[in-house]
Amino acid sequence: MKPHPAPIEDAVRALGVTPSAAVLVGDSLTDVLGARAAGIMCIGFADKPGKTELLADATW
């Protein structure tokens, strides 16, 4: 479960790509933290008011 990196690492492995070639699009802080823990770049999707600041503060 996020932010544990295992599910993200499993998905990357199943796709047959390296973490450096992957990107996760997430709409929560746990998405960003999970991607960071897995060594994957993350794009924050602010789908609700207030999320822009929350996701912007979760820098890589």
Instruction: Indicate whether 58 pLDDT > 90.
Output: no
The confidence score (pLDDT) of residue 53 equals: 86
52: which 2 tokens?
Answer: 């822009």
Cβ distance 60 to 49 under 8 Å?
Answer: no
Q: Render pLDDT for 1-51 as a digit per residue (tens, 0 to 9).
A: 668 999 999 999 999 999 999 999 999 999 999 999 999 999 999 999 988
Q: Tell whether the torsion through CA atoms of 48, 28, 39 and 9 is positive or negative.
A: negative
9: which 2 tokens?
Answer: 């690492």
Of 45, 50, 39, give the one whose Cα is nearest residue 60.
Answer: 39
Residue 59's pLDDT band (boundaries 50, 70, 90)?
low
pTM score of the predicted model: 0.82
